[in-house]
Homo-oligomer: A and B are copies of this chain.
């Protein structure tokens, strides 16, 4: 039963009862809430596609762990080909969903935790790797969704976890006993925490000895006692609340804050507990993997953005205009650079002792730098091509008003052969692509912020060997003398 259907996924959610607050209200069944539903639908779509012939090719692989077919979302990266397949799967899915579908954070976290759990066991005699294998088996056997809890709220960003005035600004262990540990803290920007069955919680940064209690990694069900999901507001909510003028008519994204109010975690779900030296490598692996994921999904997003812009040109009567073609080429340049560098990061991946492959860190971070810095310009070019109607179209409710509806249908018509209704649908999609804060901010800050990517590129690029190349060409000998 490793591959659930869409319906089975929906049924599985009915058994969960996460503590949820949305816009000041405690909500009993968040899965039906208009602000949450569109993202659940996106995740459901990933289940659906795993059963379709084209989707299967991208999504489904054999698990050595359970000897069955599983989705790649709960599989280890056991070869460069697994990493190539991941990038292509994420592009394929985003092309069809047009926004986040949330399952890659868990996938990237499973692999990151795996590498360090294995290493820690080897060096410290712990048993984390075996526990993790059991957890992953369970996820595979039941085809479950895992979100990864990475981003702490952080308080004063110039201070380390143990230096904060309030010790809870990073999630940490507040108690331990024979059965397990108790943790406190809050993770923010938790994309789709309410679409998942489990959370895999990892440290958000490297830790030092005094930060020991913050070096903790564990799995927890989304409705464990003390776990509180608080909805974070996005930009286009008035549309979702009214189910109107949506743009992307089926799918959407939300991002929660998840508060851990003294949550108990049994030992079998704990994968790091005080071994602070592993926190840094773990989160760096996660970062590199997740930037590599963005290379696939955001390129898929780019495909939609480019398609929407080109279609807007058609609908405005401006197909084949030279400056528009020039912009489309520039948009392709950025999106394909993101994709190309992620593909290359897969090809140049190397195995770790755990058997899990890590991507080339320079290439995966370069890919994300293009996303963080240039994708915003791709979006600007889409707006430029589409024209001013992205800003301020009347509502569908106006279109249906008997007095002004006919006038609006008349005046909002574009090129012959395209209905006013279709033209408006397209402009609403472009509006969504341009102004949905969760997507746009994810481009910039998702999987770390650009400065982190720059730093990672720099640290991994072996500048010293490049200096030697320059020296050799000039005839400067290695031993410097005066």
20 cross-chain CB contacts under 8 A = A23-B395, A23-B397, A96-B472, A155-B414, A231-B394, A232-B394, A235-B236, A235-B431, A247-B474, A259-B411, A303-B469, A311-B467, A337-B366, A341-B341, A384-B445, A417-B482, A418-B482, A422-B480, A429-B474, A435-B435
Q: How far is the CA of A407 from the CA of B247 in the complex (A)?
A: 35
B-contact 0/1 string along A302-323, CB 8 Å cutoff: 0110111011001011100011
The answer to whether the Cβ of A218 comes within 8 Å of any Cβ in the partner chain is no
How many whole Å from A325's CB to the nearest CB in chain B?
6
The answer to whether the Cβ of A158 comes within 8 Å of any Cβ in the partner chain is yes
CB-based nearest B residue for A187: B411
Q: How many copies does the complex hold?
A: 4
Chain A residues within 8 Å of chain B by Cβ, number: 156
B-contact 0/1 string along A65-101, CB 8 Å cutoff: 0000000000000000000100000000001101000
Q: Is the interface of A mostly helix, strand, loop or mixed?
A: helix
Q: How far is the CA of A438 from the CA of B390 in the complex (A)?
A: 9
Which residues of chain A from 10 to 24 have a CB within 8 Å of any chain B CB?
21, 23-24
Task: List chain B residues, Cβ under 8 A from A21.
Answer: 394, 398, 401, 403-404
CB-based nearest B residue for A422: B476
Q: How far is the CA of A333 from the CA of B373 in the complex (A)?
A: 11
Option from B26, B426, B463 in Cβ contact (under 8 Å) with A476: B426
Q: How far is the CA of A203 from the CA of B84 in the complex (A)?
A: 37
Given A98-B473, A470-B426, residue A328 in contact with residue B458 (CB < 8 A):
yes
Q: Is the CB of A151 within 8 A of B388?
A: yes
Task: List chain B residues, Cβ under 8 A from A410.
Answer: 166, 168
Q: How far is the CA of A441 from the CA of B157 in the complex (A)?
A: 33
